[in-house]
Structure 1
């Protein structure tokens, strides 16, 4: 989003959906981070709480209902190298699925190649989306 020719920071809400030691990741189809693995999430809309945004975005992208949401951290991400430079303040939540037996669906195939469960401690796919990779390398643990 631009105002007067200057890129304006936006707020993204993303979710570590946890099941056992695994998290849900999708392979991005986007001008930012194309073909990298990322958490479900999206842009905060006017008037939404972080939890409302998380639940809406996860439902729109995966068809999953989530619960037990908890705020984990916030990061400041500036993408200078992207085709269109952008700046995101990213809010990270943790949640669980209401029905652990339900499989995620790829409801936005134009934005994601598909969803899968990956063990956080031993089986993360590569390449990870840059902000997530930075968290992993810092020793961040979404289960704490």
Structure 2
């Protein structure tokens, strides 16, 4: 869309926080994250719901399907140094459980992935906005609010 290029409007995006059956979370390493770990995600296309965008982006980047993703966080990233592209992003963060943990990365999107327990992820080379969202997930789980 044209307004993305002129940077006069916020850009809506989704971020996927996907768990496997062992309770590990999926992180991908990408050039767009300046070679740090982050979650799969991307732009919301015109006419898509947040959930539809998340499912599409997750499948395109990893080949994974997720069941019943739930919104748990919204982050505003304004010219964040964490991303290769600058801009004003409004990131809708959703979590869900993957039907499988067999990842098939799109090499244009990411070049490495790892399934890791959330607390261990905080000690890795993870983007700061991703760490903040993982901390929120850990707290939600501890408080019994994560289904």
State the TM-score, normalizing by the size of structure 2.
0.80
Tell me the distance in 1 between the aligned counterparts of 2:84 and 2:59.
28
Alpha-carbon RMSD across the aligned residues, in angstroms, is: 2.1
The residue aligned with 2:137 is 141
Once the two structures are TM-superposed, the CA of residue 80 in structure 1 deviates from its matched residue by 4.9
Larger helix proportion of the pair: 2
Contact 1:59 1:65 in 2 (8 A): yes
Tell me whether 46-55 or 118-127 shows the greater mean CA deviation. 118-127
State the TM-score, normalizing by the size of structure 1.
0.82
Contact 1:23 1:118 in 2 (8 A): yes
Is 1:63 the counterpart of 2:59? The answer is: no
Once the two structures are TM-superposed, the CA of residue 89 in structure 1 deviates from its matched residue by 0.4
Gaps of 5+ in 1: none
Larger strand proportion of the pair: 1
Gaps of 5+ in 2: none
